Amino acid sequence: MRKRRWGALLTVAMIGSVTLTGAAVAADDAELLAQARQLFKPLPQIAVSPENPVTPAKVRLGRMLFFDPRFSSDGSVSCVRCHLPALYGTDGLPKSIGVGGRMEPRHAPTVLNSALQVAAHWRGDRASVEDQAMRSFGQPDQASAIAKIKTIQSYRLLFEQAFPGEKDPVTSENWGKAIGAFERTLQTPAPFDAFLNGDTGALSREAKAGLQEFAGAGCAVCHNGVGVGGGMFQRFGMIEDYWKATGSKEIDKGRFDVTKREADLYVFKVPSLRNVAMTPPYFHDGSVASLPETVQIMGRVQLNKALSDEQVARILAFLQSLTGSLPPDFASAPVLPPAAFK
Amino acid sequence: MRKRRWGALLTVAMIGSVTLTGAAVAADDAELLAQARQLFKPLPQIAVSPENPVTPAKVRLGRMLFFDPRFSSDGSVSCVRCHLPALYGTDGLPKSIGVGGRMEPRHAPTVLNSALQVAAHWRGDRASVEDQAMRSFGQPDQASAIAKIKTIQSYRLLFEQAFPGEKDPVTSENWGKAIGAFERTLQTPAPFDAFLNGDTGALSREAKAGLQEFAGAGCAVCHNGVGVGGGMFQRFGMIEDYWKATGSKEIDKGRFDVTKREADLYVFKVPSLRNVAMTPPYFHDGSVASLPETVQIMGRVQLNKALSDEQVARILAFLQSLTGSLPPDFASAPVLPPAAFK
């Protein structure tokens, strides 16, 4: 296994709350593990939230609502439209297609492990998974969507059970809380988590070399923490304009369009790399379909590095160790109460 | 339990290959069972086809293709778009919404148990589930869809395994055969099948009374056989124009538009009633959402009967005994090979 210095870039770049130990060279598995634990955390079983405690009743309701298209304006779009279980919670499209065939402005990232992130949406303009779900619900006519839900007795009962004591529990806020609670259970522990939890045999030799490469090259400056990303915002294109490398058709100004602050120009949420090998295409506009090409572009526009094919191959081996199993309650659809609307 | 004569209507109406025993009154469960066996058949485990033998390799591939949206013209429409597992293989819409938000001309019936039917589509203009899948595939540019599939190595391998010995197995015909083979496994044995197989306790007292009512009222003239429907074509509106009862917005001439034969005016495939309680709305245009109302309309426009609420309730109890469990390989999505297209 090649040994590389981890610290070089980290010391000159923003690393959030992450700190490195003084010894930058991993002499063996134990040392590699100790260093990795400085940068990354294993997934919890549930992404807990003080604002929205995860209860079985909320999860049960949220799972049904997640799969139910009938309360969208044309009756055909559920959360599953853009977050297909068969495609690891994505839709495989550069940009998603919503009600009326309308193209969404950005690529739909996977819903898996999304609840642990700093915010929702590429520009962080949704505070949480609950906020994202609530504000997507039944647009543009939430009152009509709520009225539809209320005609279905078993849904009324499920809302009452999920939000006990509330006089009128069928609300868009509770819709968001129920779906958010379900999403908080969609965690996909991977071989890398087993490694972080002490099973150093869970990663192949190549994946371990890739982890070294990933950290040493500086990828973990931003892609760190429990999500291996998802924990901060960062400018896309530190070294050169991103669109020159990605071939993006449009120049998206990112978080700038939300905050109007100059510092947020071309700033996006750093995507979580969990399940990245299963969720092409990549970037906020899905402009690149190949993961090796994506890794090379990131080296070029963020780190000013021309990564060799060998380096990319090692990093890919590490990224593949971030693929977990689909949660059974996500892979499998619940049976929804029968009802139809005109 | 009320006893009713079964034969009255059957003797004056088309009954296909179905014959009744002389004794028209079921004196007890055994007699009810014997009579039911004259009209209905339990589901086989697989809907076999001499033209398309069901093999594990075809089913495995077909299941993946069924769930994969990436080969449609806009990359967003798989079979699952209109045949959602969560809604028992339907989409809950009066008429489905396809690529580009385009409304389909008719209601999407469930894909469950569909392979046993006389033909596919409401007007029977698809010969089989294979024909239906093949002709839906990748429209309007099948060549481009095939080219996309071929870029994914694991799909190429799966096609080779499913169609051994073929030089170029990735074809629209084999797409149809693979999906057809998967659909031939989507059988949902229900309490009524257990009854037909001899377990007379599998039906409640109400369901048994409903079975008597169903046959006695004449419903089984058309809704018979293994699908409790799905086995023949029939004019919708024997007694009066269907649209006066259903409130249909358009007058669909049914099979007439396919064959141009006067005898086919307003003729549609008799829908299978398996899982009918789980699959609203009803009729070829989804014009009625309520099952009790649907039963009443059928009595009125097909049988010239004003069914009482009591009669309808009994028939509903029988119809509920036609609800089976979702096949696990349908409820649960397969993991698709990662790949994305521009």
State the pLDDT at residue A25: 40
Q: Return the H-helix or E-strand segment holding A178.
A: helix A172-183
B165 touches chain A (CB under 8 A): no
Q: The complex's ipTM?
A: 0.91
Tokens of B213: 């009512």
Choose the closest CB to B76 out of A68, A97, A331. Answer: A97
Best mutation site among A60, A71, A76 for testing chain B: the one with the most B CBs within 10 Å?
A76
User: Which residue in chain A has the smallest CA separation from B324?
Assistant: A335
State the pLDDT at residue A28: 87
Give Cα A206 distance to the centre of its chain.
Answer: 25
State the pLDDT at residue A190: 98
State the pLDDT at residue B14: 40
From A320's Cα to the closest Cα of chain B, the distance in A is 12
More confident residue, B22 or A226: A226
A164 touches chain B (CB under 8 A): no
Kindly tell me if the per-residue pLDDT of B10 is higher than 50.
no
State the pLDDT at residue B27: 58
pLDDT tens digits for range A186-242: 999 999 999 999 999 999 999 999 999 999 999 999 999 999 999 999 999 999 999
Q: Is B158 exposed, middle or buried (0-12, 13-18, 19+ CB in 10 A)?
A: buried
User: Which residue in chain B has the smallest CA separation from A99?
Assistant: B101
Long-range contacts, A22-26 (Cβ 8 Å, 24+): A26/A212
Chain A residues with CB inside 8 Å of B334's CB?
86
User: Which residue in chain B has the smallest CA separation from A329?
Assistant: B332
Q: How confident is the model at residue B12 (pLDDT cuts 50, 70, 90)?
A: very low
B95 Cβ neighbours under 8 A, 6+ residues apart: B103, B104, B105, B106, B107, B108, B285, B286
Q: How far apart are CA B118 and CA B123, in angstroms?
A: 11
**Residue pairs between chains A and B whose CB atoms are closer than 8 Å:** 123
Q: How far apart are CA B311 and CA A249, in angstroms?
A: 63
Kindly tell me if the per-residue pLDDT of B133 is higher than 90.
yes
State the pLDDT at residue B280: 98
Contact at CB, B87 and A332, closer than 8 angstroms: no
Expressed in angstroms, the distance from the first to the final Cα of chain B is: 63
Tokens of A258: 């939300």
Q: How far apart are CA B134 and CA B174, in angstroms?
A: 8
State the pLDDT at residue B23: 37
Q: How confident is the model at residue B116 (pLDDT cuts 50, 70, 90)?
A: very high
State the pLDDT at residue B98: 86
Mark A31-64 as b/e (b = at least 16 C-beta within 10 Å).
Answer: ebbebbebbbbebeeebebeebebbebbbbbbbb
Mark A247-278 as b/e (b = at least 16 C-beta within 10 Å).
Answer: ebeeebebbbeebeeeebebbbbbbbbbbbbb
State the pLDDT at residue A214: 98
B46, B253 Cβ separation under 8 angstroms? no
**Alpha-carbon Rg for chain A in angstroms:** 21
In the chain, the amino acid numbered A282 is Y
Contact at CB, A70 and B92, closer than 8 angstroms: yes
pLDDT per residue as tens, chain A (342 positions): 444 456 544 444 444 334 343 334 445 899 999 999 999 999 999 999 999 999 999 999 999 999 999 999 999 999 999 999 999 999 999 999 988 888 999 999 999 999 999 999 999 999 999 999 999 998 889 999 999 999 999 999 999 999 999 999 999 999 999 999 999 999 999 999 999 999 999 999 999 999 999 999 999 999 999 999 999 999 999 999 999 999 999 999 999 999 999 999 999 999 999 999 999 999 999 999 999 999 999 999 999 999 999 999 999 999 999 999 999 999 999 999 999 998
Kindly tell me if the per-residue pLDDT of B1 is higher than 80.
no
Contact at CB, A340 and B97, closer than 8 angstroms: no
Q: Which residue has the tokens 């899905």?
A: A286
From B286's Cα to the closest Cα of chain A, the distance in A is 9
Q: How far apart are CA A273 and CA A280, in angstroms?
A: 11
Chain B residues with CB inside 8 Å of A323's CB?
none
